[in-house]
Chains A and B, each alone.
Chain A
């Protein structure tokens, strides 16, 4: 395999390129294997997933709790809010009887979207190491 002078360095570059690719592809062993075998690395991935999900859950709950818990405080501290009427309906009745439901539904939708995004990111991260999905060639 001896060729002409000028192309020689170019061929040497091609020899190094798979190694760069390998480094970009992540670990040689798929992450799923790390998780399955419960190695330290697998545990790190799992802990990260659970932490992200729990952080999302807790923030949605805290936001909902703060909003709900402030309503009675509002009624207690500013008694005038109990007397306000909007189109015959007293404000507390409007808030607790009607407006609270769309708010809860919005919170639920926010949670579902973000929880699914976290799972997508996790799948992308973990699936990179899958042998059958590894790019065969390319830059």
Chain B
């Protein structure tokens, strides 16, 4: 394959990302600028930025890879990614914004008035953020190898360097601009090739997907039929519902998603933003499965050692060898890099913010006694937030991109979802209940993730339960939180009534919203 187009596209995306980021440099001077872009971002910009940040490697490459390798059931992944925003909208969007907190740990502290719960949340934000960053670096490696033949560590390294440069230089104001641009770039990159490829496919006489025999029983190898268990997954019905649950309820607990809500001017704008996001995501996800289907038509089997996640990038040259195919492939590679850069930036901001606020900042100010080093601490934290998962991504066994993102969702759904939903809607939530729920949900989901990533149990009920843990860990986390809260009414925060006023009343009412 001619690598030069791909190299040009990837370079262009990186340079433009850095350039737009530099534009915002002058605008970010204070800590508040860094964290939430001074809360002066309009719903449309904000929605594009959320879309840009959210559509990660899992969306851009992973969905097509899953559809290609596992068939119709995998259509639930993009549905779940979109549904997550509906759930977030109806359960927490406006109250979350009205809480006035920067990060999930801030929310926990505001609502529960407890430092231990805050620390637990910080720990979880960093874990989920790192878990979610892993597939971004792996995806970048896959994408760059597919278009240029570079070794897989190079792609991840490029993403790591660009993200660090951008975050360290500009903070969130520039990131908002960059992210909004990234959404439209990604939509263009995913949609234009679809139209061209579908047109070529029709001209070829619309050949049907071609699935080689796998040796499985007949009814288990119908790729195009839902719930057939194609690809050898056991218990497809359970796996599907559990995945859907994780995606629907995990979105609200993803650190980079939640931080975006603080950039809305008020609760009403937060709702409007989320509504636009649902539309933008739906628009994007209509296109992604097409690559999986056309992949089955034109690439009946992949070369040994090539991941199904690269099917998006290999498809154009398979359909149309020559310049057209290479140009489309380069466009897709650029879009994929936009996806890695934007998601990794958003995650880095959130993880760095938490690392800085809860670990570095107290440590530095204990030594210098000043407030002026806050921004410096953020920069140091950003470097750490990127380098740790990059290093791990070079060691860990590769699970599919969308699968490993799915595990991050499962952890978020088992920990932050109960905290947020009960924190927003239930006055009876006690500090002890919240803490026990976080620990229980976090431990259960994390152990399931670790066993799965380490390649522990595969197949059978145990394997299915561990690979898609949300269906049992989320209810258990809710149950534990509620039971412990009911048993410890004395630990209900004193300011709960006042906090509820703050979370639920429109901002135009003159009410006392101060904590305590």
Taking beta carbons and an 8 Å cutoff, which residues of A are in contact with B? 32, 35-36, 38, 43, 46, 49-50, 53-54, 56-57, 60-61, 64, 68-69, 72, 75-76, 82, 88, 90, 92-93, 96-98, 100-102, 104-105, 107-109, 111-112, 115-116, 119, 122-123, 126-127, 130
Contacts and interface: CB of A to CB of B under 8 A. Distances in A.
Contacts of A98: 286
A14 to B, nearest CB: 33
A75 B91 CA distance: 30
Interface stretch (B4-12, B24-32, B80-88, B177-185): B80-88
Nearest to B506: A119
Contact of B226 (A43, A82, A100): A82
Instruction: Give chain B's interface secondary structure class.
Output: helix
20 contacts: A35-B501, A46-B500, A49-B505, A61-B87, A76-B237, A82-B225, A90-B224, A92-B72, A92-B75, A93-B75, A93-B224, A93-B293, A100-B79, A108-B274, A115-B94, A116-B271, A122-B505, A123-B508, A123-B509, A127-B509
B425 A43 contact: no
Interface residues of B, number: 49
Given A61-B87, A64-B86, A108-B274, A88 B224 contact: no
Contacts of A127: 509
A3 to B, nearest CB: 44
Smallest CB-CB A-B distances: 4 pairs: A101-B282, A96-B75, A57-B90, A36-B512
B498 A38 contact: yes
Interface in B217-267: 224-227, 237, 240-241, 244
Contacts of B90: 56-57, 60-61, 111, 115
Contacts of B237: 72, 76
B504 A46 contact: yes
Contacts of A68: 79, 83, 244
A59 to B, nearest CB: 9
A38 B72 contact: no
Contacts of B281: 101
A57 B509 contact: no
B272 A57 contact: no
Contacts of A57: 90-91
Contacts of A56: 90
B279 A105 contact: yes
Given A92-B226, A104-B86, A116 B72 contact: no
B47 to A, nearest CB: 12
A61 B421 CA distance: 13
Interface in B400-455: 425
Contact of A123 (B206, B501, B504, B506): B506
Contacts of A101: 82, 281-283, 285-286
A69 B452 CA distance: 26
B73 to A, nearest CB: 9
Contacts of A76: 227, 237
Contact of B89 (A32, A49, A92, A111): A111
B472 interface: no
A75 B137 CA distance: 37
A98 B285 CA distance: 8
Contacts of B91: 57, 61
Given A112-B275, A116-B268, 15 more contacts: A43-B497, A53-B504, A57-B91, A61-B90, A72-B240, A96-B76, A96-B226, A98-B286, A100-B79, A101-B82, A102-B282, A104-B83, A105-B282, A115-B94, A122-B505
